[in-house]
Chains A and B, each alone.
Chain A
Amino acid sequence: MFGRRRKIEDFAEEIKAHMAIEAEDLREEGRSAEEAQWEARRVFGNVRAAQEQFYLRGRWQWLDRMMGDLRFGIRSLLQSPGFAFTAILTVAMGVGANTAVFSVMNAVLLRSLPVADPARVVYVRPSNPPDNTGTIETDETVSHSVYAELREQTKAIQPLMAYVPLSAGKVAVRTGAEPEEAEGEMVSGQFFSGLGVGMADGRGFSEQDETDNAPLAVLSYNYWTRRFGRDPGVVGKTFYVNGVPMTIVGVAAQGFEGAEAGHSTDFWIPLQNRPELNAYANPPDDGKLYIANPKWWCMRLIGRLAPGVSKAQALAQLQPVFQSAAYVGVGNPHPGEKLPVLRLLDAKNFPGYEDMYGKPLRVLMMMVGLVLLIALSNVAMLLMARNAARQREFSVRLALGATKSILLRQLLIESLLLVTGGGILAWVFAVFASRALGAWAQIETSLAPDETVMLFAFGLLVLAALVFGLAPLRVAMSAGATSAMKTTQATAHADAGRSRTGRVVVVLQMMLCVVLLVGAGLLVRTLRNLENTPLGMSVDGLVVFGVKPNTQALAETNAFYRELMGKLRVLPGVEDVTIMEERLGTGWSDNSDMLVDGKLPDVANGSSRTVRSNVVGPDFFTTLGVPVLMGRDFNQSDTMTSPHAGIVNQEFVDRFLHGQNPLGHRIGPTGIKWDMEIVGVVKNHKYRSITEDPIPMAWYMYAQIPVLSEMNVELRVHGNPLAILPTAGKALAQIDPNLPLIQPIEQRAQYETTIAQQMLFARLAGFFGLLAVVLVATGLYGTLAYRVHMRTAEIGVRMAVGAQRGQVVWMVLRHSLVLTGLGIGLGIPLAVLLGRALSTSLYGVQPLDVGTYGMVLAGVMVVALAASALPAARAARVDPLKALRTE
């Protein structure tokens, strides 16, 4: 009763009753029955209008109308599902690809370090470190003594924080019985408080913790989630790092994964002072740990500018302090040595990322931008074609009383539906794609889309909606109630069929397609070159993992490796075993100048004397499959007590012992009194990465050198290399149950990590190039098919007056060839520009690679012909009689 809405039927009933009563009254007044009924109706006026008014009473009219339009729009799209599907998918691909690339770019290049007030945070970095020092990164790291001096003597940066990883990769950790591995960092006491990184649970470190080298640990939120399932009871647990017990005191706030770009730290401990926890897992150098060794510059610094102090002021204050601190314990500068200089870098945007990913990401962003352009123009063209073909429908609807504004509104709603559908799909696509991108690029930073990404995607969709909105505008403006109804099919569509806009768009699409394909082609060739680069060894069947023994004395460590190799060698499926200090294919190497026969070798016109070296086990080259050109491989009889044996590569001989028999010469590093006799020469092969050029190399025998710590084990096995890992792990556990296999990986995959970024870049570029081709093909096909359809009558006339089928086909083909030719002509200069911009990312291929250009041109022509073939065939099949009869 109350509150219930009265039904429109009830209202109609009342009006009917009204007429009946009125008619009765009129009859009583003396009218005839029929007359009375007519009169009653006439007097009442417009019944429909009253009913409509009743219906609209109290409703949200715009919502009501919108729902109607939506229903209408969905119905009309469902009538051409092929069109709707293509359009939505195209929008989704275009917007999705852009959103994915942008979200990576956002995470990598645009997002700030997740700390409080990042604008006041600076990286404190040196350049020109003193000559006698060893560094991790010449332009990034300093010694502990420099850190201590700077912290003591300056107030301009408050606080100054230091951090240094426990290993270049991962370290052994343990909470239960099973050994595991994780990425850990030692940090100064004010690391969390100074950066303003909050704690999700527990507490951070204090200055006292740093002074005490307290055995405490803070986990990253990510690691806490991944390893402990966000166990709220994790604080207070014991966490063994390289066998040293630490107490977990906190979990860092979500999103903070360390101050360095591209790395995600799993846990942090205060700066330690014990050999098991030296920086970078190095053995003590001359008995000194990182904390006591002013010659080892291994720590990174970050700090917060004191309130009211500008970067320039802070630098002015720090510079002299740094320049004297740099030489404490290092010795006086050599004459002519460049003074070390301190720099302050904005920490806001992870400066390292820009160098690593800036260019590829920008090129990719540009490529997906072009793809988006093609995609949007495609859909706009499809929409225009569709609307033009619906000219008659519009005219009929106008004639039946629809207004132009209603037509326009409904067309806009249709466009909006396409954009919305495409947008939803695009988001799903983007979330998956950005995750895949992050995994491929080995970006460990979280790539979860944030507000910026959402805003970006939304902006793209608005752009799409605007573009699609313009397409119907024109139709709605030009449609008249009478024009299309009166005229014949042929004349009504003559204009639409020759639309200049359509031609311009196709040419522009072709142009963009050529640019994208050339870029993609160059990068894909680069990828092929990289993948097919000979490594100089037989890499298949090799698997590698790290081991860090808990041994102290050199003899003990030696025995450990001897025993380990012995145990591994007898495992079923294992063919060869060896060990090496620097893992191949990681980008790392030991570099130094070397003395040959007691003096620095003469080198031709200023070329480098640098030798890359490695410490390896017996049968090293046999295991790798590197040919020994002269002499022999290392073997088990090279021991602590036997004469020091060394092996060099061909490049070493060519550069330093040219024209001599290399065997028997004595070589050794500069700076210490230690040398070895060359017992073998091996063929050049790749050490650090796939793209490196040959460089002189030398190998030491592990059993003969005075320092030994973490090594990598290389196994050659039959069958799947990774399948050996569980048994290898058991063999290791027999010696020491605390030790995990550190970062086990197939050797080939390890090498490929050095080109992962190029591979990703090339694959993506290839994918986008392909996407562009598909889009352009559909666009061209759509335009041509539509033109042929519109010109059916004209073609009929032409054939009726004597045109041959061949001529008709040629007419259609010629048209598409002209458009393609124009597109190619405009595209090539742009492609040349793109190729030049890409030149630093190419490997083994020239920016003006003829093969690539040839393939692209041939490809574009084939696509154009394929896209035109169907419409041309359809044109040839036009039956002149039928075409004319429909008039």
Chain B
Amino acid sequence: MPTQENNDDRIALLQGTLDLLILKTLVIGPCHGQGVARSIQRQSEEVLFVDHGSLYIALQRLEDKKWIRAKWGVSENNRRARYYHLTPKGREQLTEKATQWKRLTEAMERILEPGTGPAGEEA
């Protein structure tokens, strides 16, 4: 288990969200692991923190499920890297998971908004 402590403002990822983020990142095009991590961090404006160990395990898991494919290639700076592609199955999963996620967040908001949520947050 990583002993890094999460003592900054960044938020550790909820379980299951990492898969979604990876799939979303790969929609743009093939990418290696480090690129995926950077991309997630950058796009979330450094709010989300990706544990690299978990990232690679997740990549492997998605590969095992045949949602993504991987092959060794060469990076822009001429370094060997393992590139991940989205498979058609992965694309389907992305749509499905994204929908699920939206419904979840909408539901969460509906519960949080009318209650103590806004008051607490603005206070």
Contact = CB atoms under 8 A, between A and B. Distances in A.
Interface of A: 6, 11, 13-15, 17-18, 20-22, 24-25, 43-47, 49-50, 53-54, 57-58
26 contacts: A6-B63, A13-B82, A14-B82, A17-B82, A18-B34, A18-B56, A20-B79, A21-B34, A21-B35, A21-B79, A25-B34, A44-B53, A45-B51, A45-B52, A46-B1, A46-B53, A47-B53, A49-B1, A49-B2, A50-B52, A50-B54, A53-B53, A54-B56, A54-B57, A57-B64, A58-B64
Interface in B6-43: 32-35, 38
A274 B59 CA distance: 93
A57 B61 contact: yes
Nearest to A24: B77
A21 B2 contact: no
Contacts of A43: 52
Contacts of B4: 45
B57 A14 contact: no
B66 to A, nearest CB: 8
Contacts of B35: 21
Nearest to A17: B81
A10 to B, nearest CB: 8
B99 to A, nearest CB: 28
A45 B60 contact: no
B87 to A, nearest CB: 12
A48 to B, nearest CB: 9
Contacts of A46: 1-3, 53
Given A17-B79, A24-B79, A50-B56, 20 more contacts: A11-B56, A14-B56, A14-B81, A17-B32, A17-B34, A17-B80, A18-B33, A21-B32, A21-B75, A21-B81, A22-B34, A25-B34, A43-B52, A45-B51, A45-B53, A49-B1, A50-B52, A53-B53, A57-B60, A58-B64
Contacts of B61: 57
A66 B46 CA distance: 44
A21 to B, nearest CB: 5
Contacts of A44: 52-53
Contacts of B3: 45-46
Contacts of B64: 57-58
A47 B1 CA distance: 10
Contacts of B38: 25
A53 B33 CA distance: 17
A376 B115 CA distance: 70
A21 B77 contact: yes
Contacts of A53: 53, 57
Interface string B56-90: 11001101100000000001010111100000000
Contacts of A47: 53
A18 B52 contact: yes
Nearest to B59: A14
B60 A6 contact: yes
A58 B57 CA distance: 12
Interface centre among B54, B56, B81, B82 (most CB of A within 10 A): B56
Contacts of A49: 1-2, 53
Contacts of A6: 60, 63
Contacts of B52: 18, 43-45, 50
A525 B3 CA distance: 77
A11 B55 CA distance: 12
B38 to A, nearest CB: 7
Nearest to A50: B53
B77 to A, nearest CB: 6
Contacts of A45: 2-4, 51-53
Contacts of A14: 33, 56, 81-82
Interface residues of B, number: 25
A57 B60 CA distance: 9
A625 B98 CA distance: 111
A753 to B, nearest CB: 74
Interface centre among A17, A57, A58 (most CB of B within 10 A): A17
A22 B75 CA distance: 12
Contacts of A22: 34
A11 to B, nearest CB: 7
A14 to B, nearest CB: 5
Contacts of B2: 45-46, 49
A45 B4 CA distance: 7
B68 to A, nearest CB: 13
Nearest to A57: B60
A15 B32 CA distance: 11
B26 to A, nearest CB: 16
Nearest to B71: A1
Nearest to B52: A44
Contacts of B57: 50, 53-54, 57
Interface centre among A14, A22, A57 (most CB of B within 10 A): A14
Contacts of B51: 45
Nearest to B54: A50
B3 to A, nearest CB: 7
A254 B51 CA distance: 70
Nearest to A44: B52
Nearest to B1: A49
Contacts of A50: 52-54, 56-57
Nearest to B41: A43
A568 B79 CA distance: 106
A364 B38 CA distance: 79
A392 to B, nearest CB: 31
B72 to A, nearest CB: 9
Nearest to A42: B4
Given A22-B34, A24-B77, A15 B56 contact: yes
A798 to B, nearest CB: 52
Contacts of A13: 82
A45 B6 CA distance: 12
B10 to A, nearest CB: 12
B53 A11 contact: no
Contacts of B1: 46, 49
Contacts of B54: 50
A20 to B, nearest CB: 6
B98 to A, nearest CB: 26
Contacts of B79: 17, 20-21, 24
Contact of B60 (A11, A18, A21, A25): A11
A58 to B, nearest CB: 7
A54 B77 CA distance: 28
A776 B1 CA distance: 52
Contacts of A15: 56
A16 to B, nearest CB: 9
A6 B54 CA distance: 17
Contacts of A24: 77, 79
A54 B33 CA distance: 15
A50 B63 CA distance: 16
Contacts of B63: 6
B46 to A, nearest CB: 13
Closest 8 CB pairs of A and B: A50-B53, A45-B2, A44-B52, A21-B34, A18-B34, A46-B2, A14-B82, A17-B81
A24 B77 CA distance: 9
A783 B2 CA distance: 49
A49 B3 CA distance: 10
B15 to A, nearest CB: 15
Contacts of A20: 79
A24 B63 CA distance: 26
A490 to B, nearest CB: 41
Nearest to A25: B38
A379 B56 CA distance: 50
Contacts of A21: 32, 34-35, 75, 77, 79, 81
Nearest to B38: A25
A17 B19 CA distance: 21
